[in-house]
């Protein structure tokens, strides 16, 4: 794996895990409700078929694709000049990846 591919993989994996943190924060009682929900959904539908994992993998793939679409995205953000369409592109990529995963795992 080349250095650039490794960076994409590490960044997108970090986003996958950050998605779980945001899912827990979005739950009414945080980890107290998200943890059991995650476990129950995983037991019922399998690891990759659980909704939290589908959402995590969808965001991971979306960020990977966004970094490919905008190779200078990180630098542009740090310079205060993010691409105007990056947010809408990310939302569209996420919708596409999430839908495909829900079909794949019959969710």
User: Can you give the residue ranges of every domain in the chain?
Assistant: 3-104
Q: Report the SS3 class of residue 94.
A: helix
pLDDT band for position 4 (50/70/90)? low
Residue with tokens 């998200």: 34
Residue 3 has pLDDT above 70, yes or no: no
SS3 70: coil
For the segment 53-58, the average pLDDT, to the nearest whole number, is 96
In this predicted structure, the answer to whether residue 55 has a pLDDT above a threshold of 60 is yes
Q: DSSP assignment, residue 27?
A: S
Position 30 confidence tier, pLDDT thresholds 50, 70, 90: confident
- The predicted model gives 35-59 an average pLDDT of 95
pLDDT for position 91: 97
As a residue count, the chain comes to: 107
Give mean pLDDT, residues 27-53.
89
Q: Pick the range with the lowest mean pLDDT from 24-33, 44-53, 55-64, 93-102.
A: 24-33
The half-sphere exposure of 32 on its side-chain side, counting CA atoms within 13 A, is 2
pLDDT at 56 over 90: yes
């Amino acid at each position: 794996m080349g250095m650039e591919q490794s960076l994409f993989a590490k960044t997108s994996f970090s986003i996958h895990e950050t998605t779980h943190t945001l899912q827990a924060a979005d739950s009414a009682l945080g980890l107290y409700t998200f943890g059991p929900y995650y476990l129950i959904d995983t037991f019922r539908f399998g690891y990759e078929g659980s909704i939290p994992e589908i959402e995590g993998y969808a965001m991971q793939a979306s960020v990977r694709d966004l970094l490919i679409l905008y190779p200078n995205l990180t630098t542009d953000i740090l310079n205060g000049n993010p691409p105007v369409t990056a947010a809408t592109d990310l939302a569209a990529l996420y919708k596409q990846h999430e839908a495909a995963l829900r079909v794949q795992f019959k969710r």
